[in-house]
Amino acid sequence: MNTKKKALGRGLSALLENSGVEDISPQFRKNGGSIVAGAIANIPVDKIEPNPYQPRTHFDEESLKELAQSIKEHGIIQPITVRLMDDGKMQLISGERRLKASIAAGLELIPAYVRTASDHAALEMALVENIQRKDLNAIEISLSFQRLIDECDLTQEELSERVGKNRSTITNYLRLLKLPATIQMGIQEGKISMGHARAIINISNIDTQLAIFKDIIEQDLSVRQTEDIVRNIDEEPYSLKTEKIHAPTLPLKYQKIKEQAGKFLGLKVDIKRNDKGKGTLIVHFRSDSDLDYFLSVIKK
């Protein structure tokens, strides 16, 4: 028996010890694929249909490779969840990332909880299970919340109970879906944070929203700086204003320190400072040798 199968077997046995759920993998193989709900089984990966309700729209390729390598070495620790369809087919409810990584790792079987569920229940289970994960971006979470409300006919209060989040949190996520598509994409790609987006959404003019979004990226504005811009802006399109509101100008004293430090190190130096004297000192380096040189200087 090879290492992969041993790892998979150990993980499955450990899960079954105190689960009260029967491992019916032998029956599955013996009966040519016949399976019952309410059990854990090693399911052929090519027999599992994708989840049409999957809220995740992006899977990080590097992260998948790392998970695939871990699965090769240790097997599957947490089974995926599938539902048994009326026609005997299996449809994924949760665990698409684990399934993708298992296929990449060359596994032919994957441990799965087998459940029966209506389309409505499967949607709710898939969305709620995914919302609990930490690696969904804010827009994916917002879309999941909206689907639960629309397709499962839930109020925001009922949704709050289902996902264990405050109603105000849900409201803040749902508001993000009112932003222009360009800004929503920026959130998904990590160009701006949810904090930036929550500030921008308080501006009703779309051109203004897009102009501020552009400046956040180009000027690396913080959430606080963005909030200050929004707080002081009127409803004239931001891109057409004769004088934009930018981050506080660095006092002359600190501009000189920045220049002197840059000349001394032979590296680009930036200083970001707010009106209260709090900020960051940034030293840019182009190579490992630059970094080594900088470390040697500060150790003297």
Strand order across the beta sheet in which 90-94 lies: 22-23, 39-44, 109-115, 80-84, 90-94, 48-49
Taking the CA atoms of 52, 54, 59 and 65 in sequence, report the sign of the dihedral they define.
negative
Q: Which residue has the tokens 């999941």?
A: 144
Which residue out of 96, 129, 151, 189 is catalytically annotated? Answer: 96
Q: Which residue has the tokens 């501006």?
A: 203
Q: Check: CB of residue 12 under 8 Å from CB of residue 42.
A: yes
| Residue 96 falls in the annotated catalytic set | yes
How far, CA to CA in Å, does 177 sit from each of 2, 27, 140, 184, 253? 49, 47, 10, 7, 44
Q: What residues act catalytically? A: 96
